[in-house]
Amino acid sequence: MPKVVDHQARRIQVADAVQQLITEQGLDRVTVARTAGTAGVSVGHVQHYFASKDEMLLFTYERVVQKVLERVSALEERSRTQRLPIRDVVVEGLAQWLPVDPGRRSAHRVTLAFVGRTVDNPRLAHAHAETGRLIRARLAGAVRNGKECGEVPDATDPDLTALELHGLVEGLALQLGSGPDTAGSAAALALVTSRTRAAFPGRCRQYA
């Protein structure tokens, strides 16, 4: 029988190599040859799946974002089974975007490299804008759910609150950079917790 090729797995193999290179050496060191060497594949393998460096970067960025969103979705599922307040889920979800540990710092370095390339590449700029819209939409949905259960005041604007929390996390991520900073990480997490609790000050009636 002919060998079945998992093309998505091969693309992910390349993306993981791109992320490793960006994390350890920076975007300038990402070339087709170095990516192939890091991934343990041939140059032809990389070129078969990606026509350019920006295509490799786009797929790597989308994979990083997807992994964060999957963690957030797992938090949401856990909140339903453990009957957690919505604000606790929002705090933990927002914290997934902060570079406060090696894994999240690696993802943040990919995001920084990606954002830098959006200036010259409209396709990358569109992908980044779509990610922001998706994050804000999920935050706005959390605010609406909070209003329904009593955690959020009726007068709260979901879209403005989502914009505030998203902007806060993006700004804090830039301030923290991509290096270890224990004090800065603790302060950032404390600020995210404080601002989220201010937006979700009530108690959910479902858990009363």
Mean pLDDT is highest, among 4-18, 134-148, 173-187, 193-207, for 134-148
Say whether both 44 and 63 belong to one domain: no
pLDDT at 78: 87
d(CA 174, CA 170): 6
**Where are the extended beta strands (E) located within 46-194?**
none
Structural domain count of the chain:
2
The DSSP 8-state label assigned to residue 156 in this structure reads -
pLDDT in tens, 149-200: 999 999 999 999 999 999 999 999 999 987 788 899 999 999 999 999 999 9
User: Following DSSP, what letter does each residue of 163-191 receive, concatenated?
Assistant: HHHHHHHHHHHHHHTTS--HHHHHHHHHH
In this predicted structure, what is the pLDDT of residue 56?
A: 97
pLDDT: is 3 or 98 the higher one?
98
Is the model more confident about 204 or about 57?
A: 57
Measure the CA–CA gap between 98 and 174, rounded to whole angstroms. 9
Residues 122 and 163 grouped into a single domain: yes
Domain check: are 143 and 41 in the same one?
Answer: no
Whether 115 and 198 share a structural domain? yes
Do 41 and 96 lie in one domain? The reply is: no
Same domain, 144 and 185: yes
Distance CA 208, CA 175 (A): 39
As a whole number, mean pLDDT of residues 3-16 equals 87
CB 203 within 8 A of CB 151: yes
The residue type of 188 is A
> What is the domain range of residue 168?
52-207
What is the CATH classification number for the domain harbouring 24? Answer: 1.10.10.60
